[in-house]
Structure 1
Amino acid sequence: MDLFKSFSTLAKAVPLACLAFGAQAETWKYAIEVSQGDIQDLYAQEFKKRIEAKTDGDVKVNIFYGGTLGTSADATELVADGALQFANISLGHLGSFVPEIQLFSIPFILSENNEVNKHLMTDSTTVYQGMEKGFAKTGLRLMSIYSEGEDAWAANRAVRTPEDLNNFKMRILVSPLQVEAFKDLGSSPTPLPFGEVYGALQLKMIDGVGQPISSVYQSNFFEVTDYLISARHQLFTSAIITGDDWFDGLPTERQQLIRDTMTEVTHYMMDEVPRLEQEFLAKILQEKPAMTYISLNEVQRDAFRARAEQTRQKFVQMVGSHGQQVLDGFLAERDRLEQQLN
């Protein structure tokens, strides 16, 4: 009888043990456009750390670095198909799918107040509700927008005025509004794949590139340029997207967990980025003492700001009938937040 009980107990225990042994964490794949150590990587690592901790290891986040899963267009398609759960994609690229998101390509559209921008990038009604249908048509869902820092210019010549940009070939993303924005600022915009930028700068095929200071350092653009110009005309913004069908298939509490964590990480990183910018700038100037760093004063910035006014009207024309509504709604949100938070 005791022997029978022992076998009975063992028989019940074995399936449970096998079940426990066979249990595996759910895996989410997360692609970024750049290499390890860049701001995008730090954002992804922070998201990974928080999600895995909040789910007690039931979810594992695997990060794939620039080019591993193809181009930004490839990553976007994989997200829409549900083969990739998250991707960090530049807003310039997303503008090809949802024209309204090119709003962030308008120079001087964001606030000078970091707290205001954190709210605009995580819970703007104009962006997250007004553009939701546009993203859904492509199978995508916008989860968060964040700043990788200011869009500084690594250049082969000094720039202090719009006239200094005459015949200046500025590498830009393949974005219709970015082309117009940099024309308005005075340059000759030159779309070019990111992987070709270093060689193009080295061979003087282009005169400069707009990138976060972290990327200027990580991608070694400072090695082949002589000037780093801070016009503070716009922030270099990135988006985190997921697949609409995949997200809708998650339990409600898991959806809320992702939303909350994205907001937490965005606010955390946007507090960290100004400090990181200074660290990367110090590294550039230390490793290349001959590099000239130019920070435009307010009078110089006003000359560029005046040029950017016409870009707003081009945005309205590109987006279509509701373009003015999008622009006015966003600016109203910005102004209201500035009054509240100042």
Structure 2
Amino acid sequence: MKKFMMASLTLCAISVFGIASAANYTGPPVNAKLASEEIEGDFMTVWANNFSKHMKEWSDGKINIEVYPYGTLGTTGDINELAQMGVVDFVFSDHAWISSFVPQAQALALNYIFPTEQVPQVLDWTVRNGDFMPLLEDAFRKNDLVPLSIMFEGWQWVTSNKEINSLEDMNGLKLRLMSSKLLVETYKAYGASPTPMSYGEVYSGLQMGLIDAQVNPLFAIYSMKFYEVQDYVTQLKSEPFIGIPTANQKFFDGLTKEAQDEMRNFWINSIIPAGEWITERNQGDMEKMKKDKSSLKFHVLDDEAIVEFKQKAETVYPQYRKIGGEGADQILDALLNDIKGAEKALNIQ
């Protein structure tokens, strides 16, 4: 199998914030900008700041990366374009929003392809051992970008003003999604009436009744206060929210090899600890929401309902091969095979 940047350092030998020898960095000073899709304190911005700190310490102050949280440089669509153009050097975005530039990334948006446990470990195995990431990098590079890893940010949840217990409850639901053709088609298959909308417009959209529901991980539902104007929070067990730390290709290829390797190593070695961090954070945010709004109801679909949803989701899989861009067949097959390989290696039933 191809290897996508095997990280030789283990977490027991070096922590995510551990410092490799600065003497390894022989390049010139670097001043870079990183645009985050999320606000200060949320996953992408927290781990972007960790990345910035790590690279500054590793390079003995020669590599300085300034992090810009959501809203400081534009919307979710804007910052991906800025990275493609080289106005910013890094963007931390998700598999859906970046698909406007790299449609192949939508493979990660297919519902019900991941196991419901150990997702960070599955992603870690995939990045280190699988065939998917080299193919994804090829697709990114054709669009002037370089993906450095894939990160688990928790499961997507649906918030709504009506209770969702079955597929039938999705009928006609005006639901906000991230900008991904594949996600739109998936939720149409569920019976909903999905519409992409900028992250910063979701609260007012819910408040004004322009949309009835929205999809996001728990930390975003809490930090953006979506739960204040919704009554139900439902887990479909369908889709992990996956972030992709990405570099502008020209900028990244202009770095020294040791700097490139260290950047990749940071993000790859962060997959599991970041997954643990966000799992704890999401649980805490759930408890905060329950405390702030006692009427708010959390619900996980039962197995019978999940079977119905999964059957509908599978009808959309062939569409990825049509809208996923050049090499979509090979990329999807590689991802599905990598997930199977990870499940076998991790003994996930």
State the TM-score bracket (shorter-chain normalisation): 0.7 to 0.9
Deviation at residue 187 of structure 1 after TM alignment = 1.1
Other-structure match for 1:287: 292
Report if the CA contact (8 A) 2:155-2:240 is conserved: yes
Q: 1:110 to 1:136 in 2, by over 3 A?
A: same
2:182 is aligned to 177
Flag the 1:25–1:323 CA change in 2: closer, same or farther, 3 A.
Answer: closer
Q: What residue number does 1:196 align with? A: 201
Alignment-derived partner of residue 319 in structure 1: 324
- 2:255 counterpart residue number: 250
2:301 to 280, 296, 299: 296
Q: CA RMSD in A?
A: 1.9
Cα deviation for residue 232 of structure 1 reads 1.6
- Partners of 2:137 and 2:149 in 1: how far apart? 12
Alpha-carbon spacing, 1:203–1:332, altered in 2? closer, same or farther (3 Å): same
Q: Distance in 2 between matches of 1:155 and 1:54?
A: 45
Query: Which residue number in structure 2 is paired with residue 59 of structure 1?
Result: 63
CA deviation after TM superposition for structure 1 residue 270, in Å: 1.0
Deviations 1:108-164, CA, capped at 9 Å, x for gaps: 122223354332563464432113232122211111221211111111111111110
Please, which of 61, 77, 81 is the counterpart of residue 77 of structure 1?
81
1:134 is matched with which residue?
139
The gaps in structure 2 that reach 5 residues or longer are 1-27
Question: CA contact under 8 A between 2:168 and 2:191: conserved in structure 1?
Answer: yes
Normalising by structure 1, what TM-score?
Answer: 0.88
Identity of aligned residues (%): 28
Paired residues of 1:155 and 1:209 also in contact (CA < 8 A): yes
The answer to whether the 8 Å contact 1:30/1:87 transfers is yes
**Residue matched to 1:110:** 114
Equivalent position of 1:41 in the other structure? 45
Looking at structure 2, the residues matched to 324 and 66 of structure 1 have their Cα atoms a distance apart, in angstroms, of: 33
- Contact 2:119–2:152 (Cα < 8 Å) also in 1: no
Structure with a larger share of its residues in helix: 1
- Structure 2 distance, partners of 1:173, 1:120, is 27
Counterpart of 2:6 in structure 1 is none
Paired AA for residue 94 in structure 1: I
2:217 to 176, 196, 212: 212
Question: 209, 224, 229: which is aligned to 2:229?
Answer: 224
Q: CA deviation at 1:248?
A: 0.9
Q: Report if aligned partners of 1:121, 1:145 keep a CA contact under 8 Å in 2.
A: no
Instruction: Name the CA distance, whole Å, in 2 between partners of 1:120 and 1:242.
Output: 22
Kindly name which structure, 1 or 2, has the bigger radius of gyration based on alpha carbons. Answer: 1
Inter-CA distance 175–233: structure 2 relative to 1 (3 Å threshold): same
Say which of 262, 266, 273 aligns to 2:271. 266
DSSP-derived class of the 2:150 partner: strand
- TM-score normalised by L of structure 2: 0.86
Structure 1 unaligned runs (5+)? Answer: 1-23
**For residue 33 of structure 2, what is the aligned residue in structure 1?**
29
Q: Flag the 1:322–1:34 CA change in 2: closer, same or farther, 3 A.
A: closer
Secondary structure of the 1:56 match is coil
Task: Give the drift of 1:322.
Answer: 4.0
SS of residue paired to 2:205: helix
Aligned residue pairs, count: 319
Q: Secondary structure at the match of 2:64?
A: strand
How far apart are residue 103 of structure 1 and its match?
0.5
- For residue 46 of structure 1, report the CA deviation from its aligned partner: 2.0
Q: Which amino acid aligns with 2:48?
A: A
Inter-CA distance 271–290: structure 2 relative to 1 (3 Å threshold):
same
